[in-house]
Amino acid sequence: PCTRAILSSSTRCIRSLSSSSEHHSFFSLLILNVVPFLLRHPPSFRLPPPSASQTLMSDAQKETLLSAIKSNTLSTVWPTLTSTLDSTALRTLSTLLITSPPDPLTSPSLPPILEALKTVSTNASQSLQGKDNDLRWKVYAVLLNDEEYDEAAGCLMGMRVDDDEGRTDDPYSFTPSAHLDLLTTIFELLLSTGSPPPTHLLASASSLPGPFPESLALRYKTCRARLAGEGRRYAEAAEGYYNLSLSSTDLVDSTDLLTLLSKACQCATLIPPSPVRARLLTLCAVDARLPSLLALEGCELVPPVVKAMHERRLLEADVARRYEEGLDDSHRSVGAGGLTPFGKVLLSHNLAAISRLYDSCRAETLTAALGCSRERAFKVAAEAGARVDEVDGIVYFKGEGEEEEEWE
């Protein structure tokens, strides 16, 4: 290709000079002599040599690392040691650190260790014989003691787990129970900081075959219910909490079971109007344990609110306000439209309660009952299927001859 390019350029050059006979002979002679010479002796183009980096770790560097580990100066020595190493030498140095870590581990030594673990994580070798996983558990313990929950979860998420579970000859093989315990610990750490777990970890946990120890199963189901609530999947959360509240085990005392029931009730009251909401509210409202929540601190308003919503009775503004104040912070965040999840459900519920009492309602009465502006009241009524006469300021809930539908 280079030869063709040079000859093509030479031909174009000769043609362009053909108009000048004076220059034609000179440039023709020059090209016809220079081009063949270049073709016979092509110039060599060499890139400048790359910056020098060390590809092998010297014995002196090994001794320096081991000395730093013993003298507890790893955090200051590590940056200097690794500054001139390429990826291969850095992996060798990281492997040495993982197989000979400081004992005991201290917080200042964690950054170099985490960097070393990250270096070998993508190229984990069987020569480590699971020592990288063992070190991650030790680092997790230090981070947990320092209340660094996000970092502790990240450390455990880097744990190597082989797909072939249960092999005794593979140090990276986890039994289904051990794998679920690891994932549940990660979920608990992330829940304590409000961070959502990666979806692939949730999928991995769901696909693990049981059965599992009862205590582990309870921890995992509690995490799933909490994660559903944090993600505003209130129907899933309510069902999860309610099933947990029915647990017949000595591992959970009666007070905790009532707390789980209150969580189920709260999530049920946050579900938008639907048959699923009606079913879960009925489950909670007819539960014989519901009155016991009156004596549980912070749950005094749960029974009356659940009963009112189940029976579709108007919920007073003061009761609704105090009930919402007792919800978890994640359930009181303001969403689209400037309403909290409970505030949005409350408007729909009270509108349905008013429609049971009146065929039509003036705007002033409706806004006072709903505790919102005229525009929002009309919008909610229209979305619920009512006919809004904005000129006269009247909302018609049922048309002529239309009968009220009853829920079974």
Give per-residue pLDDT as tens, 167-199: 666 778 888 999 999 999 999 999 999 888 999
Distance in angstroms (rounded) separating the CA atoms of residues 209 and 214:
14
Per-residue model confidence (pLDDT) at position 42: 57
| Helices and strands, number each (H, E), in the chain | 19, 3
Among 229-233, 281-285, 337-341, the minimum mean pLDDT is found in 337-341
pLDDT band per the 50, 70, 90 thresholds, residue 29: low
pLDDT tens digit string along 244-268?
999 888 888 889 999 999 999 999 9
Assess whether pLDDT exceeds 90 at residue 109.
no
Assess whether pLDDT exceeds 80 at residue 220.
yes
Distance in angstroms (rounded) separating the CA atoms of residues 369 and 44:
88
Angle at CA of residue 370, ends 304 and 366, nearest 5°: 130
Distance in angstroms (rounded) separating the CA atoms of residues 186 and 111:
20
Mean pLDDT, rounded, for 37-52 = 51
Q: Are 232 and 344 in contact (CB under 8 A)?
A: no
Among 132-136, 174-178, 399-403, the minimum mean pLDDT is found in 399-403
Per-residue model confidence (pLDDT) at position 306: 94
Assess whether pLDDT exceeds 60 at residue 52.
no
Q: Which residues does 168 contact at the CB level (< 8 Å), separation at least 6?
A: none
Per-residue model confidence (pLDDT) at position 49: 46
Percent of the chain residues past pLDDT 70, beyond the cut: 80
pTM of the prediction?
0.74
Q: Compare 225 and 117 and report the one with higher pLDDT.
A: 225
Distance in angstroms (rounded) separating the CA atoms of residues 302 and 290:
8
Buried b (16+ CB within 10 A) or exposed e, 330-357: ebeeeeeeeebbbbbbbbbbbbebbbee
Assess whether pLDDT exceeds 60 at residue 303.
yes
Per-residue model confidence (pLDDT) at position 229: 92
Q: Are 394 and 361 in contact (CB under 8 A)?
A: yes
